[in-house]
Amino acid sequence: MSRYLMRRAAEAVPVLFAISIVGFLIVRLAPGDPASLLADLTQLTPEQQHAYRVQLGLEDPLPIQYVRMLVALLSGTLVSLRSGEPTLQLVAAALPVTVLLLLLALGVGTLTGVMGGALAASHPHVFADTLVTLLALFGLSVPQFWLGLMLITVFAANLHWLPAAGIAPPGGQPGPESLLHLLMPTLVLAAGTAATLVRFTRSSMLDVLAQDYVRTARGKGLDERAVLFRHALRNSLVTVTSRVGVLVPIMLRGFGIVETVFGLPGLGQLTVAAALNRDYPVVFTTNLAAAVLVLLSSLMTDVVYTLVDPRVAFE
């Protein structure tokens, strides 16, 4: 296994390098001038404007800007254009919130999706199947920002059951009560994941239930719950597990919206604020941090895949 992990780590280096180039070009070629957001250029002469842009490093050719930014990031000296803080420090402060929210949403979405798909497959073409399918379609169709605002309106503004925003009470520090702050964001992010896994689990289980060994197990008089969970669901998880790894980058795509709606100081909100302010170093760093999370999720999916299906070995 150690050789496999070392090989995957070596393969990740060129992938991260390519992602860094694409990410840098996207943010650097986007419309807007960070110099105009950091200072009132109308109060400066053309010579002063040019000197200010040279000071920010915006007048250098793009390849030089990229190499300088990458070297500064690797050495830990890359700083935000707006606040002057090291970008690694900003990401380190925001990353725990995003990782915790990702794990909660992935866990809730996976458990709900698998159980819902198993329920639908065990009662095909009846009311339970129809209800689960309709809920899955709702989860796939509803916009995340709308669902988040509706949850805030109902459970925070009207019922006062849950906090509307933030990761901790005003003036407090994150602690066990932070789980209440993360409950609604978790539900919003888990909705799409659960809806997707419902469809895959249902389809996979229906295929497995039609296999000869399942009919043989039933013919031997095996309890129906044992047939469903020990045979059908367990073998269906091989297909579902591979799908979970694909869902992680899709979930990360929605973190900017969800963290902004709920006021969470995570990686998504940091990226959105940096993009609006044309803070290229921060966007560059958060983009690579998200890429690392995706690569780690892919690696963990492969590891879990071998646990679900012992026939698969590390190569």
Rounded average pLDDT over 40-62: 74
**Better pLDDT: 171 or 194:** 194
Q: Classify the C-alpha dihedral 115-119-125-131 as positive or negative.
A: negative
Q: Please, is 258 exposed, middle or buried when counting C-beta atoms within 10 Å of its C-beta (0-12, 13-18, 19+)? A: buried
Placement of tokens 């799409």 in the chain? 192
Instruction: Give me the phi and psi of 270, to 5 degrees please.
Output: -60, -40
pLDDT at 147: 92
Give the integer Cα–Cα distance in Å for 7 and 3.
Answer: 6
Q: Please, is 182 exposed, middle or buried when counting C-beta atoms within 10 Å of its C-beta (0-12, 13-18, 19+)? A: buried
Q: What number of CA atoms fall less than 13 Å from residue 114's CA on the CB side? A: 20
196-205 confidence digits (pLDDT tens): 999 888 888 8
Placement of tokens 């896994």 in the chain? 197
259 contacts: CB under 8 Å, gap ≥ 6: 97, 98, 101, 185, 265, 266, 267, 268, 269, 272
Rounded average pLDDT over 187-204: 90
pLDDT grade for 303, boundaries at 50, 70 and 90? confident
62-98 confidence digits (pLDDT tens): 888 889 889 999 998 988 888 889 999 999 999 999 9
Sequential DSSP letters for 39-51: S-GGGS-HHHHHH
pLDDT grade for 26, boundaries at 50, 70 and 90? confident
pLDDT at 155: 92
pLDDT at 310: 61
- Token output for 77: 């000296």
Give the integer Cα–Cα distance in Å for 151 and 183.
Answer: 10
Amino acid at site 62? L
Q: Please, is 265 exposed, middle or buried when counting C-beta atoms within 10 Å of its C-beta (0-12, 13-18, 19+)? A: middle
Domains annotated on the chain, with CATH = 2-75 (no CATH), 94-308 (1.10.3720.10)
Placement of tokens 């100081």 in the chain? 265
Most confident of 31-45, 100-114, 244-258: 100-114
**Better pLDDT: 309 or 233:** 233
Sequential DSSP letters for 233-281: IHHHHHHHHHHHHHHHHHHHHTHHHHHHHTT--SHHHHHHHHHHTT-HH
pLDDT grade for 185, boundaries at 50, 70 and 90? very high
pLDDT at 165: 83
List Cβ<8 Å contacts ≥24 apart for 4-11.
4/314, 4/315, 5/299, 8/299, 8/302
Ranges of H-type helices in 142-177 = 144-151
Give the integer Cα–Cα distance in Å for 212 and 222.
Answer: 14
